[in-house]
Structure 1
Amino acid sequence: MTPKTEAELAETIRGADAPLRVIGGGTRPIGGASNGAILSTSTLRGIELYEPGALTLVVRAGTPLEEVEDALAREGQRLAFEPMDHRGLLGTEGTPTIGGVVAANVSGPRRVQVGACRDFLLGVRFVDGAGRIVKNGGRVMKNVTGYDLVKLMAGSYGTLGVLTEVALKVLPAPPSAATIALRGLDDAQAVRALSQALGSPFEISGAAHLPGKVTLLRIEGFADSVAYRAGRLRDLLAGFGAAEVEQDEGVVAATWQGIRDVAAFHGREGDVWRLSVKPSDAPGIVAALNDVEAIYDWGGGLVWLLAPPGRGQAIRKAVAAKGGHATRLRGEGGDAFHPLPAPVAALQARLRQRFDPRGLLNPGLMAGA
């Protein structure tokens, strides 16, 4: 089913008598797949309003992400939260949509500086599980009507409602960028270096550590500022070894796109896990597992693991012991999402009952969460 309008979508959901599998571009099949009929938002597309001077974009949920980014680039602007493309990691095809990005709260390396997708979400329109059209939020950041509900939809994976339109704050794209690289650090040393840089006044917009002992920092802005901060960072991190600075625009962009999309794990056998942990705990968790390969992003707060099949229980146990959580993005066996504490699970169940009383929308997708 591919409704062409919001009203048609609402009618479809009101008339449904069996579960629905809600998809956008179909590029992120994460979690338990419902056996219900596919309900696609791919025809709900188009930019409704774009005001570059107001840094505001209103766009229908099924609009391809590439179309949104191209429109912004023509005005020298961008989605600051840098959404990743899951296709290479998950081996999927299709076209990522802006609604899918919001529904999964997809955020890239720049989150350490600017925040997540939900932090740029100004307003939403969606159809809930009862077929009601709901509008929440506004088109400017100061309009906070229903603010919590706007945030709630980001990361709900279509289990509370089907997004039809999103309003986003956008930001100017900086004219220059550089990558500062340190080599030869082990995981613990790398996280210390990343934390020191992130704690500096030099406005780090990316902080990652890759297999092969490559530790990377990104700075962005006007060319003179980037050059100055790169030099200061080299001095700051001198105790970790000699730092290299790369300022070629194409090389810097390609490097961070690879980090954003977890390119090091593309086309490789094994399960892929996404860990959210305290940065200082991350190296110890990885070391305790001993048979995994890790990519550290967000200064160590986000860890991507490539692991042999069947390691889910050990991964969850190691992460839970440190108060973090683990999501399986690729692989089989058990729930994909980390089990929630009982009070949070009860609250989530009440929200689902409120917005999807018949349990139609992506039932079972977030089992464990």
Structure 2
Amino acid sequence: MNPKNDLFLRACKNQKIERTPVWLMRQAGRYMKEYRELREKAGSFKKFYKNVELAVEASILPKKILDIDAIIIFSDILTPLESIGMNFDFKEGEGPVFENPIKSPEDIKRLKPFNVEDTDYVGQIIKGVNQKLNREIPVIGFAGAPFTLAAYMIEGKGSKDFKKTKTFMYNHPQAFKELLDIIADMLIDYLNLQIQSGADAVQIFDSWAGYLSPKDYKEFALPPIQKIIKNLKRDYQPVIHFTKGVAGFIDFISSSNADVYSVDWMVDIKDAKAKLYPKAAVQGNLDPTVLYADKEAIKKEVDYILQSWGKDSGHIFNLGHGLMPDMDVEKVKFLVDTVKELSFKVRS
């Protein structure tokens, strides 16, 4: 059964739309009092996203509070890595920290085969959201891209320069490609599980690929994403490809063959449209820090993006990256309402 509000899905496919659909990356997060209460009830971040009931509640908060046009499930990009033997936990102020990071090509050989049943709770979250919202709006599943996950596995945590990852990549290019291929095969199964469980779309997050040169991106990061997209078992479900730092790759990124490209604020939306549309739809691309400004400034920036895209379909309004924990929920709601209001005017 298709969702009642299919505006987001129509925009993904460049079909006719009445207004621009809007959802926001990290739209269920600590800036919401209700989210903080759920997280406290869970006890830890990992227990939170593994608790189906609480994760469903967190996922649907943006529909209740913001009235967005699509739900992205509450989970984490690192979720499937435990199944292949990567042990990690989330430390306050540090984010994820791995007990057993990959330091040599030999370490890749110790990775276990991925068992999709280990992530069955993610499928249950998708089913729970669809049931709870009575198919009101589309549900988006997601995964981290192979390069981004490999970077976490090698660095052992987040990084400012990804020195260990890139050193490994340059010293052991073949082993690095093997690692990316292992991750790609895992993600094909993982995303297919999400689609089979009722996800209406899936987004691949390549948060760290912007640290690569265009040459290295083409050689290492792009092929495994092409492989994933090619091997997904889907009917109508679009794939969204998000690369932070996409400006360096905008001329050739469409060769990943995604249906939608999510772009950050480092590329002008007009340039993104010129390079990607109508072969694919475009998602983005407000700088999240605009939400710290006053409402007039927010309205001005929203208007610029909507006017720059114009009356064509094929645009989903979103941020260039995720919402931050200290943002004002009232301003986030104002942003969503403003997109709806102004996009009607642009299209009239």
**TM-score (normalised: structure 1):** 0.29
**Structure with higher helix content:** 2
**TM-score (normalised: structure 2):** 0.30
